[in-house]
Structure 1
Amino acid sequence: MTIGDQQLLKRMNRSVLLRLLRARPGLSRARLASESGLTKSTVSLLVRELLDEGWLSEAGTTVADGLGRPSTPLQINVGVRALMGVEIAVETVRLACVSLQGDVLHADTQALADSAPAGACAQVARMAAAAHGQLNALGLRLSSIGVCVPGAVDDCTGVVRFAPNLGWRNVSLLPALEEAFAAAGLPGVTVQLQNDADAAALGEYEFSGGESADPLIFVSCDVGVGAGVVLNDRLFTGAQGMAGEIGHTILQIDGPLCSCGRRGCAEAFFGSRALEREAPGAAHAAAFFGVLLQNLWVTFDPRAIVLGGKSCTGHRGLAQAAFEMVERHADAAGMPAPDLRIARYGELAPAVGAAALALHEYLRPLQPDARARRARAARDEYRIPSV
Structure 2
Amino acid sequence: MKTIGDQQLLKRINRSVLLRLLRARPGLSRARLASESGLTKSTVSGLVRELIEDRWLTESDAAVVDGLGRPSTPLFINDQVRALAGIEIGVETMRVVCVSLLGEVLHSDAQTLHSTQPAAACTQAAAMCAQAWDAIAARGLEITGIGVGVPGAVDDATGIVLFAPNLGWRRLDLLPLLTEAFAAAGLPRVPVQLQNEADVAALGEYEFCDGEGEDPLIFVDCDVGVGAGIVLNDRLFTGAQGMAGEIGHTILQADGPLCSCGRRGCAEAFFGSRMLGSKPGDERRAGQMLGVLLQNLWITFDPRAIVVGGATCVNRPEFLQGAIDTVHRYAEAAGMPPPVVRAARHGLLAPAVGAAALALHDYLRPMHPNTVERREKASPRLLTRRV
The question of a shared fold, defined as TM-score above 0.5 by the shorter chain, is answered with yes
The equivalent residue for 1:251 is: 252
Q: Could you tell me the TM-score, scaled by structure 1's length?
A: 0.94
Which one-letter code corresponds to 1:293 in the other structure?
L
RMSD of aligned Cα (Å): 1.6
SS at match of 2:275: helix
Contact 1:155-1:370 at 8 Å conserved across structures: no
Counterparts of 2:372 and 2:40, CA distance in 1: 32
Counterparts of 1:60 and 1:206, CA distance in 2: 27
Task: Give runs of aligned pairs for residues 197-236 of structure 1, distance below 5 A.
Answer: 197-236=198-237
Contact 1:26-1:75 at 8 Å conserved across structures: yes
Q: 1:327 to 1:53 in 2, by over 3 A?
A: same
Task: Give runs of aligned pairs for residues 81-230 of structure 1, distance below 5 A.
Answer: 81-230=82-231
The equivalent residue for 1:380 is: none
Deviation at 1:113, TM superposition (A): 0.7
Task: Tell me the percent identity.
Answer: 70
SS at match of 2:341: strand
The equivalent residue for 1:12 is: 13
Q: 1:374 to 1:263 in 2, by over 3 A?
A: farther
Contact 2:156-2:370 at 8 Å conserved across structures: no
SS at match of 1:273: coil
The answer to whether the aligner puts 1:294 opposite 2:295 as a matched pair is yes
SS at match of 1:272: coil
Deviation at 1:210, TM superposition (A): 1.2
Q: Could you tell me the TM-score, scaled by structure 2's length?
A: 0.94
Which one-letter code corresponds to 2:126 in the other structure?
A
- String of CA shifts for 1:207-250, please: whole Å, max 9, x gaps: 11112111100000000000000001100001110100000111
Q: 1:278 to 1:228 in 2, by over 3 A?
A: farther
- String of CA shifts for 1:159-189, please: whole Å, max 9, x gaps: 1111111111111111111111111111221
Counterparts of 2:264 and 2:237, CA distance in 1: 27
Aligned length: 377
The equivalent residue for 1:285 is: 286
Q: 1:158 to 1:279 in 2, by over 3 A?
A: farther
Task: Give runs of aligned pairs for residues 11-90 of structure 1, distance below 5 A.
Answer: 11-66=12-67, 68-90=69-91
Unaligned 5+ segments in structure 1 are: 378-387
Deviation at 1:324, TM superposition (A): 1.0
Q: 1:288 to 1:66 in 2, by over 3 A?
A: closer
Q: 1:216 to 1:317 in 2, by over 3 A?
A: same
Deviation at 1:341, TM superposition (A): 0.4
SS at match of 2:213: coil
The equivalent residue for 2:384 is: none
- String of CA shifts for 1:335-379, please: whole Å, max 9, x gaps: 1111110001110000000001111111111114556247589xx
Counterparts of 2:279 and 2:124, CA distance in 1: 33
Q: 1:195 to 1:279 in 2, by over 3 A?
A: farther
SS at match of 1:25: coil
Stretch of structure 1 that moved more, 36-45 or 115-124:
36-45
Q: 1:370 to 1:17 in 2, by over 3 A?
A: closer
Deviation at 1:255, TM superposition (A): 1.9
Which one-letter code corresponds to 1:82 in the other structure?
A
- String of CA shifts for 1:130-184, please: whole Å, max 9, x gaps: 1011111111111100000111111322211111111111111111111111111
Counterparts of 1:278 and 1:233, CA distance in 2: 42
Contact 1:88-1:94 at 8 Å conserved across structures: yes
- String of CA shifts for 1:98-150, please: whole Å, max 9, x gaps: 01110001001111011111110000000111101111111111110000011
Deviation at 1:289, TM superposition (A): 1.0
SS at match of 2:205: helix
Counterparts of 2:334 and 2:256, CA distance in 1: 28
SS at match of 1:330: helix
Counterparts of 2:185 and 2:102, CA distance in 1: 27
The equivalent residue for 2:359 is: 358
SS at match of 2:357: helix
Unaligned 5+ segments in structure 2 are: 379-387
Q: 1:130 to 1:115 in 2, by over 3 A?
A: same
Deviation at 1:69, TM superposition (A): 3.4
SS at match of 1:178: helix
